[in-house]
Structure 1
Amino acid sequence: MTVGFLGFQTTIASPVTLSGIGVHSGSPVSITFQPADPGTGIIFSRSFADGSSVEYRAVSSNVGNTDLCTVLGTSLPRSVATIEHVMAAFYALGLDNVIVEVEGAEMPIMDGSSFPFIEAIESAGMVNLGEKRRYIRVLKPVRIESGASWSEFRPYDGTRFEVEIDFESPLIGRQSWKGDLTANVFRDELSRARTFGFMRDVERLWAAGFALGSSLENSVVISDDNTVVNVEGLRFADEFVRHKTLDAVGDLALAGAQFIGCYRSYRGGHKMNANALKALMSDPTAYEVVEAPSRSQRVRAREFVPVKVQELAPSVG
């Protein structure tokens, strides 16, 4: 595995703002990516009309609800929702330190994928901050199960995802995506895959206060007769599993650092991703924190050296 920026931490070169609507709230939202100092991590800072604000570090200990998206914060009126597509873009491009200023309850859904965030980051540019980046290296298998679903981390000399889905819908069926994650792989194979849903679930979701901003402009919609409603069709024949993989990348970014290992899942989702990550991080014998050795920065992951840390990514807010 060759590490971007030679193993050093990064931030965004200049602020960049994106606006849209929240897929669940249906309300307008605006976000701005601001540069941040080394060691800051990813911080979501939500401001309110009364002048108050709340901050959350994007780490698993701050995750609240994971039913239909990943949410930071346990108090719904002061939470930040649907962060997974933004976090996937940060993780894949190797963007370590950013303050995300949020005006609204969730991230803008844009076109339902991570690609608009990739474009925004690449247009703003990234800066090498000159301080070493730390990684979480998986040392032994860690597995969780829930009914027929399961997720696991396994040791691997790189960063790899193996995601499989299995839907009763004949349009989707059983699909899998496997690959080593790099910025180019994510951009070309995963970033444009959109969120999806079934027409039959719409009224139930609306009644529960979800998917109020969902439309054919930001979601792949599957009709009751198992056809794609969107006129343009699918972007990939297996767009569904590619989006599930995209979600997994964003959810696992909440480790607070990039990981060296393989993540595998079958019939997973946000909750399974979050619980697998918590299982890994709760077992200090299952991982170690490492960084590139000083003698050489262009090294394979197996050559990374352990470092002693009291806490990898402390909670904020």
Structure 2
Amino acid sequence: MIHKAVKSFGLGLTLLAASVSLYAKNNVVVVATGGTIAGAGASSTNSATYTAAKVPVDALINAVPQIKDLANVSGIQALQIASESITDKELLSLARQVNDLVKKPSVNGVVITHGTDTLEETAFFLNLVIHTDKPIVLVGSMRPSTALSADGPLNLYSAVALAASDEAKNKGVMVLMNDSIFAARDVTKGINIHTNAFVSQWGELGTLVEGKPYWFRSSVKRHTNASEFNIENIKGDQLPLVQIVYGSDSMIPDAYLAYAKAGAKAIINAGTGNGSVGNYIVPTLKKLHDEQGIQIIRSSRVPQGFVLRNAEQPDDQYGWVVAHDLNPQKARLLAALALTKTNDAKEIQRMFWQY
């Protein structure tokens, strides 16, 4: 029965690919980094328990031969890692490899297969540091390749279709999951066990149906060619140290102090509500900012809405920054990049408004 289902699925994709000739001649490179899309479970019924980053890029591509009807597809293995283990070192390495690819005239688009745990961070980072108008599409899966109804094959097929589409140029880095096209800036993982895991409070850019993208909005924030950040200007394999402290009731200052001792240049306060800070924590943050020059950035643990400046706390008076609508993990990345250019809180705040 399983064999028949797989055969039927493959036939369906073949017919789908045959109907999509618009993108057939573009060249797309699949950059593999590991993750669930390259994972394997002990049996076909293991959809939540499995080992990530097991399947190499050539096997991923060969498992969906229909994508070669969409574009001239090649692959490189940039990383082979579960995405929760990615550090700044891997992030910078990946960005440099992708940057080298998009500079080649022979490459029309790039697909990056990635674990879903930190897919949004990688997508946002690339959105800020890669200068190109070519489509860059990140894709993952919520089920390993060995699972019943694995979502990886169709996600990969759709990601290649998107990356091969001329309509996808100049839209910034995108995430393709579950037929939805998201902007890297505002996509986030909203659930950890279902295939419709990725969401954006501002909505999808569009959707992809039978290999064709349909568009409904665009991202108005600065990205890619319009960004003041550039991977070519970042040296070494580390970014300035920025860490996150999760807000709750009954907090103690030890986490902030420990990060300061470790050399953090900025601390993201993932506060309650409107990025709120307990009145008993405020003196610690003021001291870290005033005496050690550590940037204090108010984000929120609340997944929707945005942090208002000078609401809850007098940010102008304290010299603090608000993360606007960026979640804590994306605020960490933008703060780190900002610190490669300046330590002026007003300039950093400008960047949070613009990106």
Whether these two folds match at TM > 0.5 is no
Higher relative contact order (CA 8 A, sep 6+): 1
The answer to which structure has the higher strand fraction is 1
The answer to which structure has the higher helix fraction is 2
Larger radius of gyration: 2
TM-score (norm 1): 0.25
